[in-house]
Every structure is written in C-alpha cells, then in structure tokens.
Amino acid sequence: MSETLSGSQILCRALLEEGVDLLFGYPGGAIMPFYHALPEYPGLRHVLVRHEQAAAHAADGYARATGRPGVCVATSGPGATNLVTGLATAHMDSTPVVAITGQVPRAMLGRDAFQETDIIGITQPITKHSILVEEVEDLADAVREALAVAIEGRPGPVLVDIPKDVQQAKAEWRGGRAERRNGGTAEAVGLPPFRRSALLGDAVRLLAGAERPLIMAGHGVILSGAYEELRLLAERTGIPVVTTLLGISGFPESHPLHLGMPGMHGEVHVNRAIQQADLILGVGLRFDDRVTGNLAAFARGAKVIHVELDRSEIGKNVATEVGLVGDAREILGELLESVAPRDCEAWRAEIAGFRRERHESFRGELTPGGILTAIDAVAGGRCTIVSDVGQHQMWVAKLYPYRRPNTHITSGGLGTMGFAVPAAMGAALARPDEAVWAISGDGGFQMNMQEIATMVQEGIPVKMAVFNNGYLGMVRQWQQFFHGRRYSATPIWSPDYVRLAEAYGIFGRRVERGEEVEDAVREAIARPGPALLEFLIEQEANVFPMIPPGASLSEPIEGEPAAPRLVPA
Amino acid sequence: MSGTRAIAVLLEDRLITLNRVVGLVRRRNFPVRGLSVGPTGTPGLSRLTIMMQSDEAAAERAVQHLRKVVGVRDAAALPQGEAVTRELALVKLRPPAERYAELLDVVQLYHAAVVDESAEAVIVELTGSEAFVLSCLRALERFDIVEVARGGAVAMESGAGAPCLDTQPQLEAGAR
C-alpha cells in the first residue's frame, strides 16, 4: 500500500533508514517543517547546539570517532552560512559530514528573499558534493546519495539544500537503497589489475632495495582502518614509521618503530630521517606543506611510493616513483604478502643518533607533558583526545601517549580554532564508554565555549581542559620569532573559568601548580557530566622544534633564537 | 613539455555541474586559455573542451581532479600534437567599397566565408586553429573591423582510435 508523506517526513525516514540516529542542529524559518516532523521520529536524536558552527564541528567529531557520516541541520541564510567553517574543516580533513539546510520556497529563489543565501554556491569549493532538492519526489534519493557520497572513496562533506515548500509538499514514500551517483569516480576508477600488480612489484622491489626507508602514515591509515596492516608491514621490514598530525594514533606511539610527527613542529630526528631517507612509503597522506617544509628541499635523496585513495593526490606536491591508487588497508595488505622480511637496524641506529633532548621552555612543574600524562594515567589509557588549534595542539600531538587507534581528533588541514569543544561533543556521543577530553587554548576555547550549555542540556559529559597562557600563543610565538617580538593583538583576556563553570552548573577548577594536576584531572573525571579545568601554564613558552615557514626540514629552530629586537618589548 | 593541451570533459548537461567544473578550474588554478561547451549525441550530457597551457603531468592531474566532480562522467587529456583543434570566429567589417574585391580575396585565401552582407557591413566566418584564426584576423584588420566574436576551441584526437569520451556519435535535435 502506498503511503503519502510530507517532504519533512520523507527526510526523517530516509535518514533513519540510512542508519542516521543523531543530528546536531538549530531550527529557523526555512527548516521549520522539518522540525515539525522531527518529534514523530524518536529514533532521530536531535542535539540543539548554541551556534550552527558547533553543529558542523560536532557532526565532524562524531564522524571521525565512528567512521560514519555525522549529520548537522541548519536553517537558510545565516544558519547555513554559520556551517561554512565546519564544512571547510571536514573538507580539508576528508571527513564524512552531511549538512541539511532549509532554503526559501522555490518561488522565492533568486529574489533575495528574507534569509536567502546561495549556500550551494557558497559551499561549492568546500564540499565534496551538494544537492538542491527541487522536487519532493527527489528528496529521499538526495538524502541517500548525500550519505553515500560523503562516505565512499575519500570521505568529505555533502550539503543538501531543501526549499521550505519542498519540505511541505507531499509525495509517495519510496523505500530503497542509495542510487549510484553519476561520475565523480576518480578514486574508484583504480588501475587495471595487470598495471596494479606491476606497480606493487615495483614497490616491493624498492622496499627491498632501500637502505634508508621510511613510512609516513597519514589520515588514510585511520580512515581505512589499516592499523594492523601498517604495524605488520613495519614489523616485517623493520622500517620506521612517522605519523602526520592526522595520522597520529594510526600507529602505537610506544612502538619501537614509531619515530614521531614530521614537519613544522616535528621532532628533529624525524625530520632528519626524512631528509636522509632514500625511500619514503607515504600512506594516505597528501604531503601538505606543514609536513614537507620547503618542497624543493624535501627528502631530496628519496624515491616516493605513494599509497593513496585519491588519484589526484599522487604527484600533486612531491614527485612520485610509484603511485598505488586504492584503499590503504587493501594495498598495505597486498604489500605485506609480497615483501620479504628484512631489518633496517643500521638505519634505525643512525636515526637514534639524530635524537635530541626535547627543549622544554617551561618553568616549574605545570607543563603540557605533565597534564597530558595525568590525563592518560587517570583514564588508564582509555580516552579520546580532541584538540583545538595552536601551541597546545602541537603539545597534545607530540606528548600524549596514544595507545589505541583513532583516539586523536584535531582540525589539521584547515586549522580551525574553536573546533575542540563542539567536536568533542560529537566524539563523546559516539564513545559513551570512555572519557572524551576537549583540550583548547584560551583563544580557541573562547570561540565556542557557548556549547557548554548544549552539553548541560543534553547531558554530554565532555571533559574540557583550557591551557591558559594569556596569549594567542602560536601567533605570539611567530611574532617572537619572525615579527620582532611585536605582540600585536595576541594578549587575550579570559573570564574566570571557574565561575564560568559555576554559571553553567558544571564542575570547574583552576590549576596553578604541577602537583595539583593529577588530583584535578581525577576530580573532573569523577564528577558526572561536563567538567572544565583551567591550567595556568607558562605565558611565553614556545613549541620546539620549529621549521620556519618556507624553510626546509633541515633548518629547525631548536630553542630560543637570538632574534633581533626590532621594537622595544 | 609545456604547450597548449586540450582536455575533453563529458558532463551532465546541468548548470550546477558546469558551475562545479568551472569552479574547480578556478580553484585549482588551471592555466586555462579557453573553454567551450556544447551538446553531445547523448541526451543530458555535454562536452566541455578546456584548452590549457601546461605540461603533460599537469594536464593529467587536471583530468584526475575533474573526474572527482560529481556529475562529470569522464575526462581525458588529448595528446599534444595528435589532436585537431578548431575555433570559430565571426568578424564584422565595414570595408570601403573600393576594397571589397580585395576583402573577398582574403576571405577566399583563408577558406573563410561571408555569412551576412548589408549595404554597410559584412560578417565573415572563420574556422581553424587558434594560430590560424589569429593570422586571419590580422589579415582582416585593414578592412575596418567593427566587431569580433570568437568561440572557444573544440578538439578531437586525430587518427582512427576509439573516442576519448564515451558518447553517442549521432546528434539528436534538442539534446541540449
């Protein structure tokens, strides 16, 4: 028997049928028909955020933690434009986010109606795909297509824009699976089997013959779940592994073959290993400029094997000897079957000789390393760390001992300040059985701290840590190094975070001394619900080492530079 | 080696798809010299020709990026030197009466055609490679050019090989 539903009901039902059970959103005029239908579908949990940007980041955090699409909802106009930063963040880091936006009724499109924006046009460069639903009959398929496109191949954000009258119009419900979309298949095209096995053979030969091989593992390892394959390949060949910012937690930090993070704030021995390598096996990374430094001077002696799902990435930034297009897990699995066991002992010993004592520019005991160690100890290794952007992000990347796969979530490509708090809400809802920490600086935290209200209303137990140094620390560090210590617009005032926590009715505590850290972390975890810890850290500490922008990986700043003072401090 | 290369793109015949492709071209900074789009024999599909000043590797990367766009069915870089490319130009001229015969000589020399004629002006149609069209325009300059309208290039691989894009060869009226 046929069933006639409104567009809004079709939307809800299609979402449910495709396995969506959680939405982050904010109502408004053009999306009201959807919100009217929503209570009829209790299987769809809706989290009311305090700003649409947070809805997009929360959906992103959920997507990263689960590997399933995260869904956010906003109204037309300002609601939709507020999603933009979140969509761009997801786009840069290849995460499957689906945004559903209300739009003005069809008859008003293009007339500068109230709360009308061309959100499809605005988001085109930062989405994998977008669909304006012009007929209610197309709505269910649009939802199916959006969810499918977001997740298949290299994931990315998809936007579905639905005019208000399409939400209100009636149509017959038609069940069914997602239709295959047309085109957009570069990553799926792959290679003909004979070509592929020839390339695999080339890769195996290069891996066997290299004297100083290195594996660089990126986000693709996590997106494809290639943890085991990566570890086994490294162990069979003895090839050391570096993990990019988004590759962190794709390989155990404690593993003897793990070297650390490369690039702008990578450890000296990691970058030297890259520069000395004669072969780089890049897995699911895009050789971003923060990883390579000056491209012309990047790993000059190394041949590159690039394992990558997106064919357009191969050869984009670095010249590639062998490009293996496909899923990282599959390709590493195939390599694993063909590589001969070997050891790279001499090479690893050489790298060990590159290691330096880490330069800690902290006075006293209240250090990022100490805080992160306490968080790990209290959690017993079972927690997910969501970081924001800036100095603390680098400390969190380098100092936390990630033991389990996919436990580090951060905005790597876009570098979105304000990401951590809302993204941690998504991660916390995805992982109810473990602690989820949002670690921010005092700058990024103040960008989205309004979401504490969301956590309270929805009972989302995010544990928040603010590394407060009174500065926009990373910018201040650049000003110190490259702008003659002119601290222009970087000192930043914060409210009293303990009283802020009180105002929201959550636990809050300020930590000023190293010996209080573990106790504070323990208390934050012991209290049910969200909690906020403020750590008053060294004001002018820097992240070392640092490759100056534009310089090569061979030119790190390893400690305080003797920067000339251009202006009086 | 850098040179002008043609990329043929088969895409859905929808403005949003064309918009996505052109947006990609702008965003990725393709060194574009010209674009042209027209219907194919397959209803609902258009063929876009992108002329790019680039080496082979960059053209191949452009193809990979284009193939990712939802709505693009296929894309291919035509091998340089093994493709026929043609541009169209319409040129309106006001030749002085005494030089009309000379104009007709030039038109004939370039295998061009007079497609519109009035008391004061004529419109000449030119077809050829970019260099040919430019050379012809230079030859016409002395006849008082009033207006020039040029179309982007269309291109096709020479020889008897398989079509670079999979479309129906026969044209249907109103395919676009």
Assess whether B22 and B69 both reside in one domain. Answer: yes
The predicted structure's pLDDT at residue A562: 42
The predicted structure's pLDDT at residue A188: 43
Whether B164 is in a domain gets the answer no
Question: What's the rounded Cα separation, in Å, for the pair A554 and A207?
Answer: 24
- Residue A189 has its nearest CB partner, among B16, B67, B69, at B67
Question: CATH number of the domain that B60 lies in?
Answer: 3.30.70.260
Last residue of a domain, one of B59, B80, B101: B80
Question: What's the rounded Cα separation, in Å, for the pair B122 and B118?
Answer: 6
Question: CATH number of the domain that B144 lies in?
Answer: 3.30.70.1150
Test mutation, B67, B72, B167, chain A, max A CBs within 10 A? B67
- Given a contact cutoff of 8 angstroms between Cβ atoms, the answer to whether A50 and A454 are in contact is yes
Asked if A120 and B11 come within 8 Å (Cβ–Cβ), the reply is: no
Whether B106 is in a domain gets the answer yes
Assess whether B69 and B94 both reside in one domain. Answer: no
Last residue of a domain, one of A126, A156, A184: A184
Assess whether B71 and B95 both reside in one domain. Answer: no
> Looking at CA atoms only, how far is residue B73 from chain A in angstroms?
4
- Residue B64 has its nearest CB partner, among A124, A182, A311, at A311
- Residue B70 has its nearest CB partner, among A183, A310, A311, at A183
Assess whether A10 and A155 both reside in one domain. Answer: yes
CB < 8 Å to A184, chain B: 67-72
Tell the burial category of B115 from Cβ atoms under 10 Å away from its Cβ (0-12, 13-18, 19+).
exposed
CA A213, A217, A220, A224 dihedral sign is positive
Residues of the domain holding A465: 368-536
Assess whether A180 and A222 both reside in one domain. Answer: no
CA A161, A164, A165, A167 dihedral sign is positive
The predicted structure's pLDDT at residue A195: 78
> Looking at CA atoms only, how far is residue A311 from chain B in angstroms?
6
Assess whether B140 and B91 both reside in one domain. Answer: yes
Q: β-strands B32-39, B3-12: how paired?
A: unpaired
Asked if B70 and A184 come within 8 Å (Cβ–Cβ), the reply is: yes
Assess whether A467 and A390 both reside in one domain. Answer: yes
- Residue A124 has its nearest CB partner, among B23, B72, B73, at B23
Assess whether B42 and B104 both reside in one domain. Answer: no
Asked if A315 and B61 come within 8 Å (Cβ–Cβ), the reply is: yes
Q: Bridge partners of A437?
A: A385, A463
Whether B128 is in a domain gets the answer yes
Last residue of a domain, one of B44, B63, B80: B80
Assess whether B95 and B131 both reside in one domain. Answer: yes
**Nearest 5°: phi and psi at A356?**
-120, 155
Assess whether B39 and B93 both reside in one domain. Answer: no
Question: CATH number of the domain that A192 lies in?
Answer: 3.40.50.1220
CA distances from B6 to B11, B18, B68 (A): 16, 17, 18
Number of domains in chain A: 3
Consecutive H or E run containing B3: strand B3-12
Assess whether A433 and A505 both reside in one domain. Answer: yes
- Given a contact cutoff of 8 angstroms between Cβ atoms, the answer to whether A60 and A90 are in contact is yes
B167 pLDDT tier (thresholds 50, 70, 90): low
Give me the percent of chain A exceeding a pLDDT of 70: 95
> Is residue B58 left, alpha or beta, with left meaning phi > 0 and alpha meaning psi from -120 to 50?
alpha
Whether A545 is in a domain gets the answer no
Whether B112 is in a domain gets the answer yes
Contact with chain B for residue A149, Cβ under 8 A: yes
Last residue of a domain, one of B60, B80, B100: B80
Assess whether A424 and A525 both reside in one domain. Answer: yes
The predicted structure's pLDDT at residue A365: 81
Chain A residue with minimum CA distance to B27? A125
Tokens 């162990």 correspond to A235
Whether A363 is in a domain gets the answer no
Chain B residue with minimum CA distance to A312? B64
The predicted structure's pLDDT at residue A404: 95
Q: B interface toward A at CB cutoff 8 Å?
A: 11-12, 16, 19-20, 23, 27, 57, 61, 64-65, 67-74
Biggest CA-to-CA distance, chain B: 58
- Cis preceding-peptide flag for A401 (omega within 30 of 0): no
Assess whether B75 and B95 both reside in one domain. Answer: no
Which stretches in chain A have pLDDT values below 50? 182-183, 185-189, 561-569
A:B CB pairs within 8 Å: 51
pLDDT, tens only, B79-104: 888 899 999 999 999 999 899 999 99
> Looking at CA atoms only, how far is residue A58 from chain B in angstroms?
26
Question: What's the rounded Cα separation, in Å, for the pair A304 and A193?
Answer: 21
Contact with chain B for residue A321, Cβ under 8 A: no
Whether A564 is in a domain gets the answer no
Assess whether B106 and B128 both reside in one domain. Answer: yes
Asked if B70 and A315 come within 8 Å (Cβ–Cβ), the reply is: no
Residues of A assigned a catalytic role? 52, 114-115, 164, 474
For A286, the 3-state DSSP assignment is coil
Whether B59 is in a domain gets the answer yes
Whether A245 is in a domain gets the answer yes
pLDDT at B174 over 60: no
Number of domains in chain B: 2
- Given a contact cutoff of 8 angstroms between Cβ atoms, the answer to whether A213 and A277 are in contact is yes
Assess whether A306 and A424 both reside in one domain. Answer: no
CB < 8 Å to B18, chain A: none
For B117, the 3-state DSSP assignment is strand
pLDDT, tens only, A181-194: 544 544 444 566 67
Residues of the domain holding B148: 84-154
**Nearest 5°: phi and psi at A466?**
-110, 120
Consecutive H or E run containing B167: none
Whether A557 is in a domain gets the answer no
Question: What's the rounded Cα separation, in Å, for the pair B42 and B171?
Answer: 8
